[in-house]
């Protein structure tokens, strides 16, 4: 959510380029951002903003004229509250869409429908599919990468042994540099370490310093086999989680004709019973075109790619255009035959 400091200011024209930004105190369209990390799923919120700034004149009354000394008595200054925002609804925990349905016919003895279910896990929407028959509850198995296992394999785990202390610096664990205690308040800092008198160049042939040794202990990513490529490790472990929606699939019927693009089109309507016992119609044609479904689908697809191993891309060799195809071939090298003799 964001709101301008001055709600009555004119909006910024994005097509105007190469214009210098006005100074902060002279800009009528300063934008402020805020994030609400305490929202609850499925609820709707409205917001308004108050800007709180440190008062640079606080405590400076002795150098201010009497008319302005009152400004030095408060540590912060507050703006007037902005107007309330439009209602902002937080996504639900799960969503489902009926993307296809078929009524009984000579090929299908019973009604059927296909549902796509989504649940939010590890920062992405995760997707599962379900084929339904009358009386089935909407449920599906959702698969996603086992992020907890990946986090457990990360190196430099803070719980495993700390880095060796830097000479002359206090040890965060309680010991000072060189084995002593932390520096007491007011005590002088520890002396700098003695310079290394050695003149041996310990750099690598390319001039770089050698890599520091790995920290003692700690979990590390599994190493590839001898001669293996670290970028081609095996697939990530997956977690399968059942997801269910409190709705029962009932039946399918032909929907009424809809007028679209000057043409009459008929489709199907799937009937479900929700948790309150109400019969709810769902139209697969409309749900396949849903903007929400497209957004969740993109998130689910990207979520399966987030932690996949990076495969190096080898560019195709540059091929020169065959510009000399119409020219006659050159003569063979080292030709025989007599040449003109010199005098």
The mean predicted confidence, pLDDT, of the chain is 75
Query: Of all residues in the chain, what percent carry a pLDDT higher than 70?
Result: 59
Most confidently modeled of 70-79, 180-189, 205-214? Answer: 70-79
Q: Which of 127, 128, 126, 130 is nearest to 113 (CA)?
A: 130
Q: What is the mean pLDDT of residues 212-232?
A: 51
Q: Running DSSP on this structure, what letter comes out for residue 293?
A: H
Name residue 269's beta-bridge partners: 253
108 within 8 A of 101, measured Cβ to Cβ: no
Angle, alpha carbons 132-135-140 (nearest 5°)? 40
pTM metric for this prediction: 0.56
Structure tokens at 16: 């105007």
Residue 12 pLDDT greater than 50, yes or no: yes
Structure tokens at 275: 């948790």
CA 300/CA 94 separation, integer angstroms:
13
Which pLDDT does position 295 carry in this prediction?
95
Higher pLDDT, 208 or 31: 31
CA 162/CA 169 separation, integer angstroms:
14
Structure tokens at 184: 């007491």
């Amino acid at each position: 959510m964001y709101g301008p400091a001055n709600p009555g200011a004119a909006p910024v024209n994005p097509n105007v380029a190469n214009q210098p930004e006005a100074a902060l105190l002279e800009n009528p369209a300063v934008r402020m951002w805020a994030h609400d990390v305490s929202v609850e799923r499925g609820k709707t919120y409205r917001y308004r903003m108050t800007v709180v700034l440190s008062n640079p004149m606080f405590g400076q009354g002795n150098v201010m004229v009497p008319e302005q000394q009152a400004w030095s008595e408060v540590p912060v200054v507050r703006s007037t509250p902005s107007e309330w925002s439009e209602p902002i609804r937080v996504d639900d925990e799960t969503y489902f869409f009926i993307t296809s349905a078929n009524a009984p016919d000579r090929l299908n003895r019973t009604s059927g429908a296909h549902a796509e279910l989504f649940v939010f896990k590890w920062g992405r929407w995760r997707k599962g599919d379900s084929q339904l028959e009358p009386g089935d509850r909407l449920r599906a198995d959702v698969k996603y990468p086992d992020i907890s296992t990946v986090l457990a394999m990360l190196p430099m785990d803070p719980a495993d042994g700390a880095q060796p202390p830097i000479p002359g610096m206090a040890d965060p664990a309680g010991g000072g540099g060189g084995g002593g205690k932390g520096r007491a308040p007011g005590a002088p800092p520890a002396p700098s370490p003695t310079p290394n008198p050695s003149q041996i160049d310990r750099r690598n042939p390319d001039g770089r310093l050698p890599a520091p040794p790995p920290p003692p202990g700690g979990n590390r990513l599994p190493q590839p086999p001898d001669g293996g490529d670290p970028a081609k490790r095996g697939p990530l472990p997956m977690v399968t989680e059942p997801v269910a929606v409190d709705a029962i699939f009932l039946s399918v019927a032909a929907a009424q004709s809809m007028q679209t693009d000057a043409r009459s089109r008929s489709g199907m309507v799937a009937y479900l019973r929700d948790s309150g016992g109400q019969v709810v119609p769902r139209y697969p044609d409309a749900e396949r075109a849903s903007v929400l479904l497209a957004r969740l689908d993109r998130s689910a697809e990207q979520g399966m790619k987030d932690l996949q191993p990076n495969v190096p891309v080898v560019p195709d060799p540059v091929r020169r255009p065959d510009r000399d195809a119409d020219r006659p071939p050159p003569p063979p090298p080292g030709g025989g035959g007599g040449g003109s003799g010199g005098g």
